[in-house]
Amino acid sequence: MLPKYEEDFYGWAMENAALLKKGKFNQVDINHIIEEMENLGASEKRELVSRLSQLIMHLLKWHFQPTMRGHSWIYSIRVQRKQTKIHLKDNPSLKSKLDEILLDSYDVAISEAAKETSLDEKNFPSECPYTFDQIIDDTFFPE
């Protein structure tokens, strides 16, 4: 008997993986596997939103607080750019969702930038002032 999905996720996952490897498809908990696959895809999308929101937040800080610029912001921007590019390389189908992801990322970035700068969210543009290409361009720093 399969471990229950809700009671022992690890056991359930390992048992289903073993069944799939053995070709015992009729014994596999297909409905929960489908659910997990969908959750996995959503998780990858959330990771990209998280990376981009951090990157955009630092670009906004750079743009709207020029007197506070420092090496730590440059390094944060560089790291987030690299991690964003790696994530997209590993998940290229997310590129088809970039418009939606950018909207979500910018919404989060404004809140984070407002918190970190003590500026009101109204001080930032209502729409992202940077294109995706600019955001991930290693030479782009808004002035």
| Total count of domains within the chain | 1
Structural domain range at position 115: 9-136
The answer to whether residues 102 and 132 touch, using CB atoms and an 8 Å cutoff, is yes
| Low-confidence residues of the chain: pLDDT under 70 | 1-3
The answer to whether residues 64 and 117 touch, using CB atoms and an 8 Å cutoff, is yes
- Per-residue pLDDT, 1: 63
Question: Is 4 domain-assigned?
Answer: no
Question: Is 18 domain-assigned?
Answer: yes
- Per-residue pLDDT, 6: 82
- Per-residue pLDDT, 2: 62
Burial of 108: CB neighbours in 10 Å, binned 0-12, 13-18, 19+: middle
